[in-house]
Amino acid sequence: MDSPAIQVRGAVKQFGALQALAGVDLDIQPGEFFGLLGPNGAGKTTLISALAGLLRLTSGSIRVMGHDVASDYRQARQALGVVPQELVFDPFFSVRELLRIQSGYFGIRRNDDWIDELLANLDLSNKADTNMRQLSGGMKRRVLVAQALVHKPPVIVLDEPTAGVDVELRQTLWAFIRKLNEAGHTIVLTTHYLEEAEELCGRIAMLKAGRVVALDTTPNILGRVSHHALKLRVAGLSNLPVSLAALGGVLQAGVLEIPFASHSQVESLLASVREAGAEILDLEIARPDLEQAFVEIMQGAAA
């Protein structure tokens, strides 16, 4: 097997009495689309900052494409493109000027062909000569993505890239990132939009209090959730009958939700609902989703 695109070994980071990372071990393989999830304060941004060489670990090591981020910073940084959460930008330059300057940081000259391709893919071509101060928040977010990709890094880290952006940008961005992933780039995504992670990521790590509490393929993590749910919009039930409560049913605003483990149970569950005197107006079978798995895993980690 190839050496990992990202290798984290025993990563610990102390900020005084606060332990932001408590011994993280992680391997992300070349070409993966990898999700890094966790609640606020779990250590995601600290790990990304250490990965980018913006802070030193208290102990442990991180390598990007085989290069140690501390002892071989220049090569590690060359292999990495990071899209930060914050909208950080230089207000004195146009979009194209900013991308040319960013290219220069990596020793790349005459990069306009690739810059033009980035601008086209991120729907920024008509803003190329616009000053950064005149751009909307969503447009600035697109420029941050272009900046991270200007040196064609093999590893791309997206830290909450769609926070507060419109649906159109989200779709444009994911179409482009998918294309980069298909071309062999390793993608690491942190997001609070768990449906994005479920759809995009092949493997997921969940962090809580600076530790990895789950690390598996997305289907396997979804498989940890013990049940599907039968969701019924019903009439004729003002209170939840004991017979349905015993099945794990919950009645809220006219919607009855009953968990089940096997589809063979659905017929008998529907019969139980009818026997309880309810009229079924609408029916939906909800499969386990990443949000449900996330909540259960975090609760388990807390316990």
Q: Where are any strands of DSSP class E within the chain?
A: 6-15, 18-28, 33-37, 59-64, 67-68, 80-83, 155-159, 186-190, 203-208, 211-217, 228-235, 250-252, 255-260, 279-286
> What is the pLDDT confidence band of residue 154, given thresholds at 50, 70 and 90?
very high
In a domain, 128, yes or no: yes
In a domain, 271, yes or no: yes
Domain check: are 215 and 279 in the same one? no
> What is the pLDDT confidence band of residue 239, given thresholds at 50, 70 and 90?
confident
Domain check: are 173 and 267 in the same one? no
In a domain, 201, yes or no: yes
Domain check: are 98 and 139 in the same one? yes
In a domain, 217, yes or no: yes
Q: In which residue are the tokens 């011994």 written? A: 23
> What is the pLDDT confidence band of residue 300, given thresholds at 50, 70 and 90?
confident
Which two structure tokens, joined as six digits, stand for 234? Answer: 């019903």
Is pTM, for the whole model, over 0.85?
A: no
Dist. CA 190–CA 203, nearest whole Å: 12
Specify the number of domains making up the chain.
Answer: 2
In a domain, 270, yes or no: yes
Note whether 157 and 51 are within 8 A (CB): yes
Give the domain CATH number at 190.
3.40.50.300
Work out the burial of residue 19: count CB atoms within 10 Å of its CB; fewer than 13 is exposed, 13-18 middle, 19 or more buried.
middle
pLDDT of residue 30: 96
285: left (phi over 0), alpha (psi -120 to 50) or beta: beta
Dist. CA 26–CA 219, nearest whole Å: 19
Give the domain CATH number at 250.
3.30.70
Q: Domain ends where: 199, 222, 245? A: 222
Domain check: are 214 and 264 in the same one? no
In a domain, 184, yes or no: yes
Note whether 279 and 236 are within 8 A (CB): yes
Domain check: are 242 and 141 in the same one? no
262-277, pLDDT tens digit by residue?
Answer: 777 888 888 888 888 8
Q: Domain ends where: 222, 250, 278? A: 222
pLDDT of residue 163: 74
Dist. CA 151–CA 109, nearest whole Å: 10
In a domain, 70, yes or no: yes
In a domain, 212, yes or no: yes
Q: Is the pLDDT of residue 1 over 70?
A: no
Q: Domain ends where: 175, 201, 222? A: 222
Dist. CA 250–CA 227, nearest whole Å: 14
Residue 256 CA neighbour count, 13 Å, CB half:
30
**Residue numbers of the domain that contains 262:** 226-287
Domain check: are 202 and 247 in the same one? no
Count of positions (residues) in the chain: 303
Q: Is the pLDDT of residue 61 over 90?
A: yes
Domain check: are 185 and 248 in the same one? no
Domain check: are 129 and 252 in the same one? no
Domain check: are 246 and 208 in the same one? no
Domain check: are 110 and 194 in the same one? yes
Note whether 21 and 57 are within 8 A (CB): yes
Domain check: are 72 and 163 in the same one? yes
Note whether 2 and 155 are within 8 A (CB): no
Note whether 4 and 61 are within 8 A (CB): no
Domain check: are 191 and 242 in the same one? no
